[in-house]
Amino acid sequence: MEVPGYRIRDELARDTHYVVCRGETHDAVPVLLKLPLSPSPHPAAIASLRREHELMTALDLDGVPRPRAFEPQGALVLEDIGATSLRAVLRPGPAALDDFLWIAPELARTLGELHRRRLIHKNVSPESVLVEPKSRRVQVFDFSLASRLPQETQAASPPQLLPGRLGYMSPEQTGRMNRVVDYRTDLYSLGALLYEMLTGRPPYHSDDPLELVHAHMAKAAPAPAELGSGVPEVLSEIVMKLLSKTPEGRYQSAWGLRADLERCAREWTAKGAIARFPPGEQDVPEAFTIPQHLYGREAEIRVLLEAFERACTGRAALLLVAGYSGIGKTSLVNEVHKPIVRLKGRFVSGKFDQLERSTPYAALLQALRGLVRQVLAESEPRIAALRERLALALGPNASVVAAVIPELELLLGPQPPAPSCPRPKPRTASTTCSRASFPSSHGRSIHSWCSSTTCSGRTPRRRSFSRACSPTQRCATSS
């Protein structure tokens, strides 16, 4: 890997798309270089580095490496203070308590400054933190996912495709909590990082990405004080507060967190012990936020979840959710994400659009295309098993279905042209697709949501239907 005008010495950190290296300029000035992993980077990767350079240039913070240059071929050049990655520091095991008590407040201070500037990092992890023990400097970098929006809605993508590091991702950032993502997602990620500093391991670990998502959403990690001898109770409580599943249960500002951590550091330095106190006594919300909770919909949520549980026994279930536009039908249906993740099911959705009224079953086709894209994100052994069963189920109709679901060719391979008909109609292919059995492996359930059926020229309602499949069953997401 070469960058004209720079000499690369060693690798500092990497993720799935980029690598950070330590190097120097032609006149021996030490620098850090963030480079795409691909020798022929996609223009989007270069554009992401350019955006990151612009964000970091505008910050001008001690806790963020200062950009020195952006090379058009795809290289972000940063200052080098001689720091090392926090991941390398934690590789032998948990951090010493003395180190924890100077690193943690500095991280909280930097996040507080970012949030004060209305910037959400969205990717806090040991790989995105640099520490320099001699000068006790801490820097946060990797702003590839950073956002200036006050809040965002994360789509429920397959876990393998979610941007960011899954082990440190907040529940709402997985897109399955029916909540928007705001600055408090950084506080959860920081909690996961501090948990690893105290215990030597992240709060949740699994080789199955969907299981890891479910752990973030629903499982309580053991408190650090229960795992590591010598971890003060109050530090354990501070970290567990950061790891609250709902943003309202966490610290509401990084400044409140910093105040508690500095209090712990002062007591540890003066007395060699930390007295217990209620975490968050000096916590003041960074911004006014309204709790994101569905009020007065308990009965409807119960009906929805009961229908889903019945569908998981192998019977198809159909629900019609009626209401005026904007009343909250989609928010209600999104509540089913949590049990779907618990059962390792799939959620697909489609929308009847006014501009697509001429396409029969447009919403169903959209949902099935989304289902195929989810399958393509699976591991190769699962894809191979499903490919075999799907080819057997579709038989000679595979080419007909692939004509309306182009993604199917990525799963089954190129298909021969469909047999010519006197008057081919899209409805025929759609009906074939609806009646064809879409096999499911590993006992997964499939929940489909069709929105805005007013535009479909049919019943002016919204449809939600699901079907659960056992490993020996074939199932179709059709009503």
pLDDT of residue 409: 84
pLDDT at 419: 65
pLDDT, residue 445, reads: 54
Measured CA to CA, the distance from residue 105 to residue 98 in angstroms comes to: 12
- Tens of pLDDT, residue by residue over 395-439, are 888 888 888 888 888 888 888 776 665 554 555 555 444 444 455
Q: What does the domain layout of the chain look like in residue ranges?
A: 6-79, 85-271, 298-415+426-475
For domain 85-271, give its CATH number from 3.30.300.10, 3.40.225.10, 3.40.50.2000, 1.10.510.10.
Answer: 1.10.510.10
Give the pLDDT score at 425.
Answer: 53
Residue 323: helix, strand or coil by DSSP?
coil
Pairing mode, strands 30-36 and 67-71: unpaired
pLDDT of residue 61: 92
Q: What SS3 state is found at 222?
A: coil
Helix (H, G, I), strand (E, B) or coil at 276: coil
pTM: 0.79
Distance CA 305, CA 151 (A): 28
- pLDDT score at 73: 86
Helix (H, G, I), strand (E, B) or coil at 184: helix
Q: Which amino acid is at 82?
A: G
Residue whose tokens read 């279930």: 317
Counting residues of the chain whose pLDDT is more than 70, the rounded percentage is 86
pLDDT computed for residue 246 by the predictor: 92
Which pLDDT does position 471 carry in this prediction? Answer: 35
pLDDT of residue 216: 93
In order along the chain (479 residues), what is the average pLDDT of each group of 10 residues?
85 88 91 90 92 94 94 92 92 92 97 95 95 94 93 83 91 88 96 96 90 90 87 96 95 96 96 94 85 82 84 79 83 80 79 74 83 82 85 84 84 76 52 48 53 50 44 33
Q: What is the pLDDT of residue 413?
A: 85
Dihedral sign for Cα 64, 68, 74, 80, please. negative
Using alpha carbons, select from 216, 463, 226, 193 the residue that is nearest to residue 338. 216
Please name the residue ranges forming H helices in 202-336: 209-218, 224-227, 233-242, 254-271, 298-311, 329-333
Establish whether domains 6-79 and 85-271 are of one fold: no
Contact predicate 144/125, CB 8 Å: no
The whole-number pLDDT of residue 444 equals 54
- Looking at domain 6-79, its CATH architecture is 2-Layer Sandwich (3.30)
* pLDDT for 437: 43
Residue found by looking up tokens 């100077």 in the block:
102
What letter would DSSP give residue 334? G
